[in-house]
Structure 1
Amino acid sequence: MAASVTDFKNFQRDIKKHIRGKDAQIKQQMCSSFFFKYEVDDKQRLIRIFWADVIGRKNYASFGDVVSFDTTFSMNE
């Protein structure tokens, strides 16, 4: 019996429900070189995040730079 589109959507829904709120911890368990740290404000809103995985570390070693996203850009125009 072949899986239907609905079967795949239900599977995706169930996986997202299972990992909600712990995706970074799961990634860290799977890959010991994955590192993350984050900060939230008094309203539990994300204000800073940093992560580094194997590919990011290799790129930094090769090129000596990082990618940074300013999520406050639209608020500080």
Structure 2
Amino acid sequence: MPREVAEYTEYDKQRLAVKPGCTGLWQISGRNDVGFSEMVELDLSYINKRSIMLDLSVLIKTVAVFIKPNGAY
């Protein structure tokens, strides 16, 4: 959202380097228990390590979170 991005630091803006998807490390890492700075770190980690294998891992873990919502990895 533009009003949120207006508050991003230059470091935070790095997460905008890739188009957002339907899931990600944040969604499988506890979501509501993860603060903004940790979410940024997860996004940047994904950007730096992205690969087909990481994508498959995230998708599999996303299915697991749907099956057991409180069991985010």
- Aligning the two structures, in what range does the TM-score lie when normalised by the shorter sequence? under 0.3
| Structure whose CA Rg is larger | 1
TM-score, structure 2 normalization:
0.25
The structure whose residues are more often helix, as a share, is: 2
Determine which structure has greater relative contact order: mean sequence separation of CA pairs < 8 Å that are 6+ residues apart, divided by chain length. 2
TM-score, structure 1 normalization:
0.24
The structure whose residues are more often strand, as a share, is: 1
